Amino acid sequence: GQSLEQPSEVTAVEGAIVQINCTYQTSGFYGLSWYQQHDGGAPTFLSYNGLDGLEETGRFSSFLSRSDSYGYLLLQELQMKDSASYFCAVRDTKGGGNKLTFGTGTQLKVEL
């Protein structure tokens, strides 16, 4: 079956660095994405890894190791507005297909 595991909750202080891990087991793998969702809001795209390694976008970085079926999202210089749920998602179809299997989500709480 398809499964993506993430920690359910992470708490950190403002200004700190936090890492949210994601391990996956899927029938196909064509990339790992990360989405942020604030309470009552829509998921918004953060990052994508199609190949092994680190991708950096401002304060956010994402890493992928396909051999370990593992990735993580790194958030630096945490701000209160980063308090939200974070989802990893695997694209498990070839080509331009957008069938995403989402992880269980990690609720990040940023404290003063």
Partner 1 sequence: KAGVTQTPRYLIKTRGQQVTLSCSPISGHRSVSWYQQTPGQGLQFLFEYFSETQRNKGNFPGRFSGRQFSNSRSEMNVSTLELGDSALYLCASSLGGQGTYEQYFGPGTRLTVT
5 close to 72: Cβ distance less than 8 angstroms:
no
Among 58, 67, 81, 96, binds partner 1 (CB under 8 A): 96
Q: Shortest CA distance to 103 belongs to which of 36, 50, 11?
A: 36
* Residue 112 to residue 109: CA distance in whole angstroms: 10
Among 34, 91, 106, 110, binds partner 1 (CB under 8 A): 91
Burial of 26 (0-12, 13-18, 19+ CB in 10 A): middle
- Interaction pattern, residues 33-72, with partner 1; x per rule: CB under 8 A: x-x-----xxxxx--x-x----------------------
Indicate the residue among 72 and 106 with the shorter CB distance to partner 1: 106
- Read off the tokens for 47: 């990052």
Q: What is the smallest separation between the CB atom of 110 and partner 1, expressed in angstroms? A: 22
Indicate the residue among 63 and 78 with the shorter CB distance to partner 1: 63
- Read off the tokens for 36: 């942020």
Query: Which residues make up the interface to partner 1 (CB under 8 A)?
Result: 31, 33, 35, 41-45, 48, 50, 87, 89, 91, 93, 95-105
